[in-house]
Amino acid sequence: MLQDTLTVKVTKTTHSRIEEVDWSNLPFGKIFSDHMLVMDYKNGEWQQPEIMPFGPIQMHPAMSAVHYGQSIFEGMKANKTEKGDILIFRPDMNANRFKESCERMCMPVIPEDVFTELVRKLVEVDENWIPAKEGYSLYIRPFLFATDEFIGIKPSDTYKFMIFTCPVGSYYTEPVNVKIEEHYTRASVGGVGRAKTAGNYGAALYPAKQGQLNGFHQLVWTDGKEHKFIEESGTMNIVFVINDTIITPSEDADTILRGVTKRSVIEVAQKWGIPVEERKVSVEEIVTAIKEGKLQDAFGAGTAATIAPIIKIGFRDEILELPPVETRVISTKIKNYLDDLKAGKIEDEFGWCLKV
Ligand SMILES: Cc1ncc(COP(=O)(O)O)c(C=O)c1O
């Protein structure tokens, strides 16, 4: 089995691009580190993984991922501590979610320990690409796609797993405006909303663009059946605070991506004795709470944005204003705690950070 024999072939670049990077300006997802990892799947098994110089890959015009959408990905971050240690935040959770995405999309599973080790290894090779500046990280993008050269709908027999990394700054530079979406649907019951599969993101582009044209950064997705219950927001899970209680849509439905950031927020809050309710959250409940001045906080939780305060919510013809960000005690405290934990500034009491 792959786990027993996991050796990664490493071919290093002879032309590092690191000196060309403007470290004071790192637009999200546009700058790529020197190396990438590639591991092919064929003849029913995973082949030897290889780390090689970052660059384009060849594709056959009939490559099945492009036509039929067997394509999944993950996103996580690594940081360097003041002492120079490298910490990856909860890669085991991404490994587990990746496995579930594989299963749902009928793709071969990568054992979770192998996934984590491959991520660790690539980060180690490109450790100089981890930005030292506070608030900056190395974003890690593992992905898997079907490579059969075949026109016809069936699960592919061959696949390519890859990982690359990007030094990044913050995703949002200001509090976000969101719109509650009551027409379009991100995911429906029985669909693939729980999988981190490419099609979910492609399908969201058009509705999100309509929202952006009206001045919103993101949409708040509601359930596909009645549009009465809140699910998540853009590429973040959504969390509210009412009555000093954290309230967030439960993930029982297979329509919501099980976010690592949101899970971490919940686990920290529970440890601190803050009440948490994971349950159905209706649009009506939130709109009423805002109008009655009872909504203390709303924020998005996700790897790219970490914790993104929501400042305005568009609902039908209204723009509902939320309390000033300075008053958001709970989310600010949790955000600072998670930032410090990821940067190795405080003890890792949960054992969440993998030291490379
Ligand atoms: C649709 C969606 N929901 C939620 C999240 C947040 O998940 P995580 O905290 O694991 O990044 C993401 C980002 O990965 C996402 O794409």
Nearest-atom number in ligand 1 for the CA of 233 is 3
Return the HEC string of the chain: CHHHHCCCEECCCCCCCHHHCCCCCCCCCCCCCCEEEEEEEECCEECCCEEEECCCCCCCCCEHHHHHCCEEECCEEEEECCCCCEEEECHHHHHHHHHHHHHHCCCCCCCHHHHHHHHHHHHHHCHHHCCCCCCCEEEEEEEEEECCECCCCCCCCCEEEEEEEEEECCCCCCCEEEEECCCCCCCCCCCCCCCCEHHHHHHHHHHHHHHHHCCCCEEEEECCCCCCEEEEECCEEEEEEECCEEEEECCCCCCCCCCHHHHHHHHHHHHCCCCEEEECCEHHHHHHHHHCCCEEEEEEEECCCEEEEEEEEEECCEEEECCCHHHCHHHHHHHHHHHHHHCCCCCCCCCCEEEC
- Among candidate residues 337, 312, 342, the one with its CA nearest the CA of residue 325: 312
**Residue 181 CA, ligand 1 centroid: distance in Å:** 18
Ligand 1: list residues with CB < 6 Å: 75, 232, 235-237, 257, 259-262, 301-303
Q: Which two tokens stand for residue 44?
A: 């029913």
**Residue 30 CA, ligand 1 centroid: distance in Å:** 19
Cβ-in-10-Å burial (0-12, 13-18, 19+) of 58 comes to exposed
**Residue 203 CA, ligand 1 centroid: distance in Å:** 16
Nearest-atom number in ligand 1 for the CA of 193 is 1
Nearest-atom number in ligand 1 for the CA of 200 is 1
Nearest-atom number in ligand 1 for the CA of 261 is 9
User: What are the pLDDT tens digits along the chain (356 aa)?
Assistant: 455 568 999 999 999 999 999 998 898 899 999 999 999 999 999 999 999 999 999 999 999 999 999 999 999 999 999 999 999 999 999 999 999 999 999 999 999 999 999 999 999 999 999 998 888 999 999 999 999 999 999 999 999 999 999 999 877 778 999 999 999 999 999 999 999 999 999 999 999 999 999 999 999 999 999 999 999 999 999 999 999 999 999 988 799 999 999 999 999 999 999 999 999 999 999 999 999 999 999 999 999 888 999 999 999 999 999 999 999 999 999 999 999 999 999 999 999 999 99
Nearest CA to ligand 1 atom 13: 235
Cα 151 to its chain centre, rounded Å, is 31
pLDDT, position 1: 47
User: pTM, whole model, 2 decimals?
Assistant: 0.96
**Residue 302 CA, ligand 1 centroid: distance in Å:** 5
Nearest-atom number in ligand 1 for the CA of 257 is 3
Residues 6+ apart with CB under 8 A from 79: 86, 87, 89, 130, 137, 138, 342, 343, 344
**Residue 149 CA, ligand 1 centroid: distance in Å:** 31
Nearest-atom number in ligand 1 for the CA of 304 is 11
Contact status, residue 300 vs residue 238, Cβ threshold 8 Å: yes
pLDDT, position 63: 98
**Residue 29 CA, ligand 1 centroid: distance in Å:** 16
We find that the CATH architecture of domain 176-342 is Alpha-Beta Barrel (3.20)
**Residue 215 CA, ligand 1 centroid: distance in Å:** 22
Sorted by where each begins, the domain ranges of the chain are 2-169, 176-342
Handedness of CA 183, 197, 261, 258 (dihedral sign): positive
**Residue 316 CA, ligand 1 centroid: distance in Å:** 25
Ligand 1 binding pocket mutation candidate from 137, 220, 221, 261 (most atoms within 8 A of CB): 261
Contact status, residue 281 vs residue 251, Cβ threshold 8 Å: no
Instruction: Select 2-169's CATH number: 3.40.47.10, 3.30.1180.20, 3.30.470.10, 3.40.50.300.
Output: 3.30.470.10
